[in-house]
């Protein structure tokens, strides 16, 4: 029995517009690799080149974040629902410093990473 | 041509109240509705997992639950709102970098001044474009809302 995988809106175009697909696998890694094989546009979107989960993507097995389980080695069983969701974040950023690996929304259904060192100065509109 | 976001007065008030309640940190939540008509049917008031006055992260598990709930109602998550506690109601460089979905509406509420300011934007390939917020048939462009 295959595993149900729910896709976020931003990745659905790579799966023919589908919000849910069925793939086989006994671990999250297998499920995601099978996903990338069946839908080549998804390759590199969830698992980064270094073989780990993308920093700005969250993967759940039912209600459990795989980062709190076994990451990509988390086991899945028939009947489990795997959900892939992007991190939703932002903020005025004033006074923060973020090093490297900035997610860049390319607007074409991809979540690519660009390495950049950012130092946020006082924002243009901040009043003392 | 300006794109639009349609809100009900009830959702508008929920958004503002949630942002005020979140002080001194930024507050955030998700907008659910019909992407084809840019209409928000409801908002999900989520926790800011970053609990910071300069950053927000929608609690991932709450996003999952909101996503499921929206789907069960025949809706989709079509955007996110968050507050800027001491800066403009305009997407910051951080907001632009981290924008997760080019199809979404990005609502920013500024609590800098005496009266909150709510504005909405599209963020596509790093480009910000403001859109018209229509509440109960009334366009909010150029109005001061209190």
Domain boundaries, chain A: 3-86
- Report pLDDT for B146: 39
CA pair distance A19, A68, nearest whole angstrom = 25
Residue of B nearest to A11 (CA): B101
Q: Which domains does chain B have, with CATH numbers?
A: 4-139 (3.40.140.10)
Residue A122 has pLDDT above 50, yes or no: no
Tell me which of A97 and A100 has the higher pLDDT: A97
Going by pLDDT thresholds of 50, 70 and 90, the confidence category of residue B2 is confident
Going by pLDDT thresholds of 50, 70 and 90, the confidence category of residue B37 is very high
* Distance from the A68 Cα atom to the nearest Cα atom in chain B, whole angstroms: 12
- Report pLDDT for A2: 87
Cis peptide before B24 (omega within 30 of 0): yes
Chosen from A17, A45, A89 to mutate, greatest number of chain B CBs within 10 A? A89
A65-87 pLDDT tens trace: 999 999 999 999 999 999 999 99
3-class DSSP assignment, residue A17: coil
Mean pLDDT of chain B: 94
Mean pLDDT of chain A: 80
Contacts (Cβ under 8 Å, ≥6 apart) of A20: A4, A5, A6, A7
- Report pLDDT for B114: 87
Residue A124 has pLDDT above 80, yes or no: no
B12-21 pLDDT tens trace: 999 999 999 9
DSSP for chain B reads ---EEEE-HHHHHHHHHHHHHTTTS--EEEEEEETTTTEEEEEEEE-BTT--SS-EEB-HHHHHHHHHHHHHTT-EEEEEEEEESSS-SS--HHHHHH---TTSEEEEEE-SSSS-EEEEEEEETTEEEEEEEEETTEE-TT----
- Report pLDDT for B143: 56
- Report pLDDT for B117: 94
State which CATH number among 3.40.190.10, 3.10.20.30, 3.40.1190.20, 2.40.50.140 fits the domain covering A3-86. 3.10.20.30
- In sequence order, the β-bridge partners of residue A20 are A6
| Mean predicted confidence (pLDDT) in B79-90 | 96
The model carries a pTM of 0.86
| Mean predicted confidence (pLDDT) in A80-108 | 71
B103-139 pLDDT tens trace: 999 999 999 998 999 999 999 999 999 999 999 988 8
Residue A44 has pLDDT above 60, yes or no: yes
- Report pLDDT for A97: 58
| Mean predicted confidence (pLDDT) in B71-84 | 97
Taking any CB pair shorter than 8 Å as contact, residues of chain A touching chain B are: 6, 8-10, 19, 56, 58, 60, 63, 65, 83, 85-96, 98, 102-108, 111, 118, 120, 123-127
Going by pLDDT thresholds of 50, 70 and 90, the confidence category of residue B142 is low
């Amino acid at each position: 029995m295959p595993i149900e995988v729910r896709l976020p809106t931003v990745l659905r175009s790579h799966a023919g517009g589908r919000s849910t697909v069925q793939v086989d696998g006994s671990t999250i890694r297998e499920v995601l690799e099978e996903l990338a094989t069946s839908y080549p546009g998804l390759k590199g979107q969830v698992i980064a080149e270094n073989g780990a989960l993308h920093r700005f993507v969250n993967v759940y097995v039912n209600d459990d974040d795989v980062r709190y389980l076994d990451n990509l080695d988390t086991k899945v069983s028939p009947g489990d629902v795997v959900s892939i969701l992007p991190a939703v974040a932002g903020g005025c950023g004033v006074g923060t410093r973020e090093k490297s690996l900035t997610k860049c929304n390319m607007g074409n259904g991809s979540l690519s990473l660009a390495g950049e060192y950012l130092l946020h100065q006082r924002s243009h509109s901040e009043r003392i | 041509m300006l794109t639009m976001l349609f809100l009900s007065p009830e959702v508008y008030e929920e958004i503002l109240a949630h942002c005020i309640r979140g002080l001194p940190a930024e507050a955030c939540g998700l907008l659910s509705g019909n992407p084809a008509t840019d209409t928000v049917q409801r908002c999900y008031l989520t926790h800011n997992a970053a609990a910071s006055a300069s950053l927000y992260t929608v609690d991932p598990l709450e996003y999952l639950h909101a996503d499921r709930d929206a789907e069960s109602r025949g809706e989709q998550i079509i955007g996110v709102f968050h507050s800027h506690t001491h800066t403009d109601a305009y997407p910051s460089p951080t907001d632009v970098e981290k924008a997760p979905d080019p199809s979404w509406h990005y609502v920013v509420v500024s609590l800098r001044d005496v009266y909150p300011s709510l504005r909405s934007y599209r963020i596509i390939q790093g480009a910000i474009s403001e859109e018209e917020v229509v509440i109960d048939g009334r366009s909010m462009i150029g109005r001061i809302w209190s």
